[in-house]
Amino acid sequence: MKPRSVRPLQGWTWIVEGFKLFLLAPAMWIVITLCFSLLWIMSLVIPFLGPVIFNLFSLVFLGGILIGCRDLEQGKPLTLSHLFIGFKTNVAALVSVGGVYLAGTIIIIGITLATVGHEAFTLFQTNKSMDTQAALNVVSEMGRSLLVALLLYMPLMMAIWFAPALIIFNQLSVTQALIRSFSACLINPLPFTIYGFALMGLWVLGSIPFLLGLLVVLPLAFCTVYVSYKDVFADELIEVLPPETP
């Protein structure tokens, strides 16, 4: 099974098609988003362990949402139960991918903090009135660390992006899904660049009115994962759909 390279403007098309999926059941998408956000907030009640558990199972929730996207596309209703359908199929594989993402994120944060260097922290702690040159040094140090974080985070996201869909719809193993996802993103840099900037702009706009716009942008982002998967793996989608989950 090989992913296909798509036209650069498909990155914007993913946004448009994702919004069309959202419009098929906007109220339920908002309910699902609120419940997903509530689960995240509840996880913060348990220091450290709560966020770890949530991150491990977040892709299980995403898996159910992807099934919801497929059902909507097939004319079936979207329900709140879709948020939890992922727990009925491929749970171990989805949790494993979540574990890869969590471990990768922790490693990247560690490397980023290391690249900031002891000097930057010392400057903040010892210089109550930091001179201009010292401040510029700190900003430069932090800029380099953020660049390192971005360069490390991109390959991680490339490996994760299509993995849940490939596990659910194509029944691939964790390793196969991660490799296929990375390969698919690697051959589509321009579509993902356009998509990334477009979604970032929508995220900023959605954050302005007291974050209320994120109730649309977040489910839209979920829908675009499904749309982009269907586009890049179009030749494989119809034949490999698993039996419908009850």
The conformation of residue 123, written as its DSSP 8-state character, comes to H
Residue 124: half-sphere exposure toward Cβ, Cα within 13 Å: 9
Closest CA to 126 of 144, 112, 116, 138: 138
Taking the C-alpha atoms of residue 111 and residue 114, their distance in angstroms, rounded to an integer, is 5
Task: pLDDT tens for the chain, 246 residues: list them.
Answer: 689 999 999 999 999 999 999 999 999 999 999 999 999 999 999 888 999 999 999 999 999 999 999 999 999 999 999 999 999 888 999 999 999 999 999 998 888 777 765 555 555 555 555 556 655 665 666 667 777 788 889 999 999 999 999 999 999 999 999 999 999 999 999 999 999 999 999 999 888 877 788 899 999 999 999 999 999 997 554 434 444 444
DSSP summary character for residue 90: S
3-state secondary structure of 229: helix
CA-CA-CA-CA dihedral for 196, 237, 159, 207, to nearest 10: 30
Helices (H) and strands (E) in the chain, counts: 11, 0
- What is the pTM (predicted TM-score) of this model? 0.85
Distance of CA 168 to the CA centre of its chain: 16
CB neighbourhood size of 148 (10 A):
16
